[in-house]
Amino acid sequence: MTIQQRLQKIQQRIRSALEQAGRDTHVTLVAVGKTQPPRRLLEAYRLGVCHFGENYLQEALAKQKALSHCQITWHFIGPIQSNKTRDIAAHFAWVHGVDRLKIARRLSEQRPDWLPPLNICLQVNVSGEESKSGVSPPEVTDFARAVGALPRLRLRGLMALPAPAEDFEAQRRPFQRLYGLYEELADLGLDTLSMGMSTDMEAAVSEGATMVRIGTALFGPRQKTV
């Protein structure tokens, strides 16, 4: 199956999920290019995809250089180490995995003055998995207000990576919980729920996702080399 065919299938899945949920909002597709070579990202870009997410900083920087002629909005969606914040702050428009105030402060301090504020989504551990990053639901309100007060950042919303589930209803529950937290923060002017991947995008869209992060369903199996 070609990337074009895969993209059409993804778009249809999103449209169907919106229709079944009675939603008419726009859902942004963030194409996750982890381990995919730049030429495959370029193919998706030429088909109209303009938001790309990367998990590994050095891989992402190499792709940004290779695709510098493209009008791409870059999202960093991987774990964030303190020694990587300067490059992330300088080279990305969005960061989806902020779950520590220390990291948020470093991104704020290191965001170049000539760039617009860095868009931030806070990662929430909605499934309570010990192995997963993310703030716990009871901590979200205080954390969001602290991050929202930092300069050079724009707090846009919440994101989650729930535990895998095969059943549609089981997939929906953590997304419902994230949406509830999102509503509790309405006074902060949030507008983004980054949730849903290749296997659970319908459940996420049904529960209010405004961004879905799609890799395998768009590009096929991950490549071994970039």
Report the greatest alpha carbon distance in the chain. 46
The pLDDT score that the predictor gives to residue 226 is 43
Question: Which is nearest to 95 in space by CA: 79, 114, 110, 82?
Answer: 79
Give one word for 220, left, alpha or beta, with left for phi > 0 and alpha for psi -120 to 50. left
The pLDDT score that the predictor gives to residue 223 is 63
The pLDDT score that the predictor gives to residue 132 is 73
Neighbours of 2 (CB within 10 A): 10
The pLDDT score that the predictor gives to residue 128 is 74
The parts of the chain modelled with pLDDT lower than 50 are: 226
Its pTM stands at 0.95
Residue linked to tokens 């209010």: 208
Q: What are phi and psi of 198, to 5 degrees?
A: -55, -40
Domains and CATH numbers, the chain: 3-219 (3.20.20.10)
CA atoms within 13 A on the CB side of 114: 2
DSSP code, position 223 = P
The pLDDT score that the predictor gives to residue 69 is 97
